[in-house]
Structure 1
């Protein structure tokens, strides 16, 4: 492989003496730099290292996303398994419409009177899973809520406290009112 100095010599642009002096000066400068502790910067090497760091960071982010997706899938499978193993019957041919809010919508399931009493008392909890709604015991619903609280429907218990300034304080709402 022919260096630049060799090419210039061959082309006749410089003579051997001048090329030798330039080579000696370059060698001397490199020797002085080594003694002074100055490192020569190899830009190609730095660029390759930076590219390698960038690729490693990109791979790390891709792995983190894949792991997060796998974790979410595992949690979803756990929830489905808990619901399927612990779902309670809504009652055969339930004739009472039980309304509840799920997210921003008002939904309705039909239950028997006994199941409705368990829902109102908080012993059973509604869980929205797989496009439908299932009833599970409160203990299971608490475990599901630890994994995904958005699919658990919490029934708010009616408060017995009456605000002093409430203009409707004299008009009590019956416990068995269906809405």
Structure 2
């Protein structure tokens, strides 16, 4: 069975010789015109294939970016958790209540006298982790605030000690036990 499919169809009587010659001439004309115009015949299936590839790449990029964002969020949460657990100050001898607000609710935490003074002065801060509160240094709270600001509950500003040179009462200190 040598020959092309066209020859086989002609031999079998399924195709007409006139039509076959006409189709062959039309094909040659089209090829000649496309060579002359140097324009490629546009194949719709190729266009659809390239379009579907582009769409798939876009979907994959979006999916990857969302996965990367989720992974980054988890990494930041793990960093914050580690910062809090490592730098949390123990409150074993705590006997004083320190009241603060969290989401418009008043909460309290037990601290000792030194912690109370440092919380008020801004050297310590209160942070939240897994529905519990921890006392950490202000520098650690600042690092946490850079990563997840919602975790820092109480971070008072440090009050600089201003000394006025012309203050006549500068030499007199106010006693701690003064009652009004």
Same fold by TM-score greater than 0.5: yes
Superposition RMSD on alpha carbons, in Å?
A: 2.7
Q: Where does residue 118 of structure 1 map in the other structure?
A: 118
How far off its partner does 1:155 sit?
4.3
Which residue of 2 is the match for residue 34 of structure 1? 35
Q: 2:13 and 2:126 mapped to 1: Cα distance?
A: 90
Unaligned regions of 5+ residues in structure 2, if any? 160-180
3-state SS in 2 of match to 1:139: helix
Partner of 1:74: 75
Q: CA deviation at 1:60?
A: 1.6
Question: Contact between 1:103 and 1:150, CA under 8 Å: does it hold in 2?
Answer: no
* SS at 1:127 equivalent: strand
CA distance in 2, matches of 1:72, 1:62: 15
Mapping 1:61-100, distance limit 5 Å: 61-92=62-93, 94-100=94-100
Cα contact 1:98–1:110 (8 A) shared by 2: yes
Q: Which residue of 2 aligns with 1:171?
A: none
- Specify the alignment match of 2:51 in structure 1: 50
Deviations 1:34-82 (A, max 9, x none): 2102211111111111111111222222221222122111111111111
Runs of 4+ in structure 1 deviating by more than 4 angstroms, as ranges, are: 9-12
Aligned to 2:60: 59
| Structure 1: tracts of 5 or more residues without a match | 160-179
Distance of 1:156 and 1:134 partners within structure 2: 15
Q: Select the structure of larger CA radius of gyration.
A: 2
Count of residue pairs the alignment pairs up: 153
TM-score (norm 2): 0.73
